[in-house]
Amino acid sequence: MGDRVYPFQNKEFASLAGKKGGRPAAKNSIPDLLRNIGLEPANVGALEATINQFFPNSDLQKMNNKEVLMRLTYINAFTGNDWAIKFIAERTEGKVPIKKIIQNVDIIDAVIKAIQEVELPKEFNDRLLEKLIDIGEIVE
């Protein structure tokens, strides 16, 4: 048997998929450019007083752009900006999973009415309603 050719190795397949040569070179890749800019030494200039006000022990000469940006994000969080608080919390503690909750009262009423109309033992209906409330499908 011959060597297997994977789709990403086949130039004909790559051109059909709309990729001409794959990922751009590092100098043209936006994430790589942003990373490189983040690692450059920071020129804080006008921001020096603000950063020193909140972080008096920081050595501004040793900071790169990424660190300055994160310190500015913390300053925004300290001053009460919700987006900065959320950004920091999600990056440090992880994102909170959000349950989808049915808030449409008509749908909730229809479900409750349907459960109550079915002739099942009362304890079964009560357990079913409790379960729906537990999984967040019905808002109390």
List the chain domain ranges: 40-93, 105-134
**pLDDT at site 40:** 92
Encoded tokens for 106: 């008509």
Mean confidence (pLDDT) of the chain: 75
What residue ranges of the chain have pLDDT lower than 50?
137, 139-140
Say what the pLDDT of residue 43 is.
86
What per-residue confidence (pLDDT) applies to 134? 65
> Can you give the pLDDT at residue 46?
82
**Ordered alpha helix ranges (H), the chain:** 11-16, 30-39, 48-54, 65-78, 82-93, 105-117, 122-134
pLDDT at 69: 92
The answer to whether residues 58 and 51 touch, using CB atoms and an 8 Å cutoff, is yes
Residues 46-78, buried b or exposed e (16+ Cβ, 10 A)? eeeeebeeeeeeeebeebebebbeebbbbbbbe
